[in-house]
Every structure is written in structure tokens, then in C-alpha cells.
Amino acid sequence: FGIIAIVGKTSNLGSLSVVDYLLLSAKNIVFSAQKLFVPTDLSIMYTQGGEVSILAPDFFVPVILILVIAVALFLLRKKQPVLLWCVAWFAVCMAPNLLTYVQNNNIIFTSNRYVYLACIGVFMYAATLIGLLKKGQTTLVSLVLVGVLGVFAVLHARTWSSSETLLRSALAAGYDHRMIHHNLGAALRSQDKTDEALQEFLIAGKAGNPHSYKLAGDMYGEQGNTQEKMRLYQLGMDTAR
């Protein structure tokens, strides 16, 4: 898993500066940990909309948190070796995710699928803490955790009922990005929801995706509207320049 992800994604690093890479990595790690403990507003992808800058709270806050945690782990390394080991597991398993930021000229700062293995480190430490409780408390805490997480899992599973619901949930969570609009347009087109698909393609095109204009033009061509088709093709070529 690690070798495939790292070797397959190292070409992405060329389009980012070292500073961009470090800032995105800090945001990625803190954001992924946050979503693990507070699994709300989940999305199929997490797009970076604004500028990558140390002056933005999205970046300087994660950097500060990581530095504080690193110092705390160093001070606790002898008293809490299990904690140190679990955090190391999380960090190592997160490594492939730190090399996947650029996809089709879009910055995707993290993706849930690369955090699955890393979660094991957090769960191991949580199990260690629960194991220190008395027998009755251990059972109660375990049941509460399983119940709460089970409810979140069932609720979130509904967003995977179709590509449309999955992508609409990403937009509802606040990730208004051209890549999501483009993919939603493609999903709607496959369902013959022509008007809605055109709307999503045009939104994605205006946001800078030239291929969205091309697909919108194709749809107008299928309707026999050659003039609008050529206009959108031209817009696509202009956007790509």
C-alpha cells in the first residue's frame, strides 16, 4: 500500500513548493485527526479552495498544534511509550496521503480512504485507556462508543446510495469545488437529468474546468443546438489557455 501510493504519487510534488507541501501536510494531518474524533461534514474529497499560506488560520493553526503535540510526546516518551507508538503508527500510515495533493490541476488536501489504516493507531490507544477502567466501566464505555459510532456510520452510509447523493453531500458540507460540480454533472447526465447536468457543467466551467464546457457543448449538440455547442467549445478552449 505504502510503496504503491508513494511511488505512484511522487510526480505530484513537482507542482507544489516545499512550503506548500509542508503546510498542506500539516493541515492534512490535523484535519484527518479531527474528522476521526468528530465525523461530521464528511466528503468524498476535501478540496483546497483558498491560497496555501502560513498566514491563513487553516494552515498556521495546524502547524502550531503539531509542534505542541511533538513537544508533548517528547516529554511523555518514557511515561507513555504506548501513546508514542500509536502516534508513530498514525504518522507512518498517513505518509502515502501526504503525497496525493495535486489531481488534474486541483489541490485535494486529503481523502478519507488514506486514513483507514492510520485510524488503527488511535483505536489501539483508545482500547488501552478503556482497558485501564474497572470491568463494569469498560463494558459501559465500549457499548456507548460502539452505539454512537454505529449511528454515525448508518447516517453517513446513506450518502453512498448513489454518485449523485455522494457528490451533493460534499457540496452540502461546504466543499464547493469545480471538480465536484463536474463529477456531479457527469452523474446527472448518466441519469438523463439533462437540465441539472448542464447547470453543474456550466458551474464547473466558469470555475475553470475547460472539459466541463466541452461536455456541456456535447449535450447541446445532442439537442441539435449547434450554435450553443460551438460557443461552449470556444469557451472551453479559452479557459484551457
Please tell me the predicted confidence (pLDDT) of residue 38: 83
Average pLDDT over residues 105-119: 82
Phi, psi angle pair for 18, to nearest 5°? -60, -40
Assess whether pLDDT exceeds 70 at residue 184: yes
How far does Cα 66 stand from its chain's mean position? Answer: 19
Assess whether pLDDT exceeds 50 at residue 77: yes
Classify the C-alpha dihedral 151-155-156-161 as positive or negative.
positive
Please tell me the predicted confidence (pLDDT) of residue 6: 43
CA dihedral 163, 169, 170, 173 (to 10 degrees): 180
Mean pLDDT of the chain: 87
To the nearest whole percent, how much of the chain has pLDDT over 90? 46
Residue with cell 439537442: 223
Average pLDDT over residues 7-31: 75
**CA nearest neighbour of 89 among 62, 60, 43, 126:** 126
Assess whether pLDDT exceeds 60 at residue 14: no
Residue with cell 481523502: 111
Assess whether pLDDT exceeds 90 at residue 49: no
Please tell me the predicted confidence (pLDDT) of residue 68: 96
Please tell me the predicted confidence (pLDDT) of residue 15: 66
SS3 231: helix
Q: What is the pLDDT of residues 19-28, one digit of tens each?
A: 988 999 999 9
* 6-20, 53-67, 91-105, 207-221: range with lowest mean pLDDT: 6-20
CA dihedral 168, 169, 172, 175 (to 10 degrees): -90
Assess whether pLDDT exceeds 70 at residue 13: no
Within 10 A of 184 (CB to CB), how many other CB atoms are there? 24
SS3 26: helix
